[in-house]
Amino acid sequence: MAFSASPSAVVIGAGFAGLSAATTLAQAGWQVTLLEKNSGPGGRARVFEAQGFTFDMGPSWYWMPDVFEQYFAKFGKRVADYYDLVRLDPAYRVIFGPDDLVDIPADRAELRQLFERLEPGSGPRLDAFLAQAAYKYEVGINKFVHLPSRSLTEFLDWDIVKGALRLDLLQSMSKHARKFFSHPKLLKIIEFPVLFLGATPENTPALYSLMNYADLALGTWYPRGGMHQIVRGLVALAQEQGVHIEYNQEVTEIVVENGHTTGVRTAAGFYPADAVVAGADYQHIEQQVLAPEYRHYSPQYWNSRVMAPSSLLFYLGVNRKLDKLLHHNLFFDEDFGQHAREIYEQPQWPSRPLFYASVPSRTDPTVAPAGQENLFLLIPVAHSLDDPEATREKYYNLLMDRLEAHCGHPIRAHVVFKRSYAHRDFVADYHSFKGNAYGLANTLGQTAILKPSLKSKKVDNLYFTGQLTVPGPGVPPSLISGQVVAGEVLKEMQK
């Protein structure tokens, strides 16, 4: 396909993947217009302010700092040019019951001592576990996830072939973890990243122990000012590269002529393009925005996908300080396996949910008025559930009962701002398929070439990026996804 000397692209959606794709194409000399449905950038990582509080709406964990550094380095920049990072120590707190908690230290030697204290002899096994996870991280993050996954031949790289067994693609995360540890608390610490972000440990390939390396070895970080500082940095970099961003511009049609898109339409008019990259919800773009004759996947295909969880979120402003909470807190004081089954196997509202509480004001006083706390609560829940106000309020009070018991003081009476967010909000704001929060579950049957393709098979210059295609859900994978799809667009220019 031959392009003009200065080809143009339209990127749909200003989330991490869309910003990454747009910026990468602009660096290569393309004229790029980025169209965002909402009034500001970030996608699920948007921000809002109320009564002196600044709330990050979505991602709150900063893992894989090397991925962010590598991204900015591609443009001759550093993370520090756009935001300041602090490493959290302890990284997070796990609450197993009344007066039964474990703080995860940043220091590796202290972490080893913690494992030994809980399960004598597990210190050396932790070293072995993380050594394997480090290999998976090196191959998985620096090679595997950068492949466009359009053909099996991409995986004939010698490093991937010779290390295929070490990647543990055919073993479950559950079995893998139990080769090293038996103490139930250690198993919960090891398995929580996949439960919150993908699927049950029994259905997740052990490849994803690379997440444990990201967690326990690379550490948990925080950008001062909040997670949206990352988005502000990405937007600033995009604009430095010449990306033109327009907000409140929902794409309602992808115009296709003879199997080739010529651009997109919004309420404001037609935007011509030599290539279109959809960073919005893949299923929505393909099933609702594209004309039927240009859809590759069927409704049955989409309905058979295993989706990652949705979430019930609460953004709370509290006019007092909160005791016994760190920046990140995981409440694993209920049945871990039962909650997982109620997300994935018997989808329903959880009977006794696990939950996550973030108090960024413990690290960053700028996100709340003086003497007050910014409190973010999250329950991972099954997708496709009805979420009426009565249900949200029921779970709000359930969480508050447990929080107040843990903290040892009232909280509800001190809440001066409250906002909830769940399935219908994900659908309204992002056209999220089935109201999911995280995209596709990381199952073996939805890995690499088995994910929805990043390139349309019926429209030769239409591409997809983000959490419903390769490499998968999460902020770092989305950054990588944008770069990978931009690379594929640029390859087309060479043909």
- For the four alpha carbons of 359, 365, 367 and 372, in that order, the dihedral sign comes to positive
Distance of CA 69 to the CA centre of its chain: 18
What ranges make up the beta strands (E) of 51-174? 53-56, 85-87, 92-97, 100-104
For residue 462, the surrounding DSSP H or E stretch is strand 462-464
Both structure tokens of 455: 């390139």
Q: What is the pLDDT of residue 1?
A: 44
The candidate with the shortest Cα–Cα distance to 284, out of 68, 467, 144, 100, is 467
Q: What is the pLDDT of residue 147?
A: 84
Percent of the chain at pLDDT > 90 equals: 84
Buried b (16+ CB within 10 A) or exposed e, 341-376: ebbbeebebbeebbbbbbbbbbbbeebbeeebbbbb
For residue 416, the surrounding DSSP H or E stretch is strand 415-421
Q: CA 276 to CA 320: how far, in whole Å?
A: 49
**pLDDT averaged over the chain?**
94
User: 151 pLDDT exceeds 90?
Assistant: no
The candidate with the shortest Cα–Cα distance to 225, out of 370, 86, 109, is 86
Cis peptide before 148 (omega within 30 of 0): no
Cβ atoms of residues 37 and 432 within 8 Å: no
The candidate with the shortest Cα–Cα distance to 290, out of 258, 272, 266, 264, is 264
Banded model confidence at residue 153, pLDDT cuts 50, 70, 90: low
Both structure tokens of 435: 């109201």
Q: What is the pLDDT of residue 336?
A: 87
The candidate with the shortest Cα–Cα distance to 443, out of 207, 188, 162, 167, is 207
pLDDT in tens, 22-36: 999 999 999 999 999
Helices (H), 358-474: 389-407, 423-430
Both structure tokens of 51: 């009564």
Lowest average pLDDT, out of 331-340, 383-392, 440-449, 472-481, goes to 440-449
Q: CA 395 to CA 90: how far, in whole Å?
A: 28
User: 174 pLDDT exceeds 90?
Assistant: yes
Report, as an integer, the average pLDDT of 112-125: 98
Environment class of residue 154 by beta-carbon count within 10 Å: exposed (0-12), middle (13-18) or buried (19+)? Answer: middle
**Residue 318: φ, ψ to 5°:** -120, 130
Of these ranges, 129-143, 154-168, 293-307, the one predicted with the greatest mean pLDDT is 293-307
For residue 265, the surrounding DSSP H or E stretch is strand 260-266
Q: What is the pLDDT of residue 337?
A: 87
Q: What is the pLDDT of residue 387?
A: 97
Report, as an integer, the average pLDDT of 381-393: 97
Cβ atoms of residues 241 and 75 within 8 Å: yes
Q: What is the pLDDT of residue 258?
A: 94
Cβ atoms of residues 218 and 3 within 8 Å: no
What the chain holds in terms of domains, given with CATH numbers, is 8-84+225-305+440-493 (3.50.50.60), 107-217 (no CATH), 307-430 (3.30.519)
Banded model confidence at residue 163, pLDDT cuts 50, 70, 90: low
Q: CA 254 to CA 251: how far, in whole Å?
A: 8
Q: CA 51 to CA 417: how far, in whole Å?
A: 7
Neighbouring C-beta atoms of residue 59, cutoff 10 Å? 20
The candidate with the shortest Cα–Cα distance to 415, out of 68, 51, 78, is 51
Residues 6 or more apart whose Cβ sits within 8 Å of residue 296:
286, 453, 456, 457, 458
Banded model confidence at residue 218, pLDDT cuts 50, 70, 90: very high
User: 413 pLDDT exceeds 50?
Assistant: yes
Report, as an integer, the average pLDDT of 399-423: 98
For residue 271, the surrounding DSSP H or E stretch is strand 269-272
Both structure tokens of 451: 């994910």
- For the four alpha carbons of 64, 67, 72 and 77, in that order, the dihedral sign comes to positive
Residue in the structure block whose two tokens are 């039927």: 292
Q: What is the pLDDT of residue 3?
A: 47
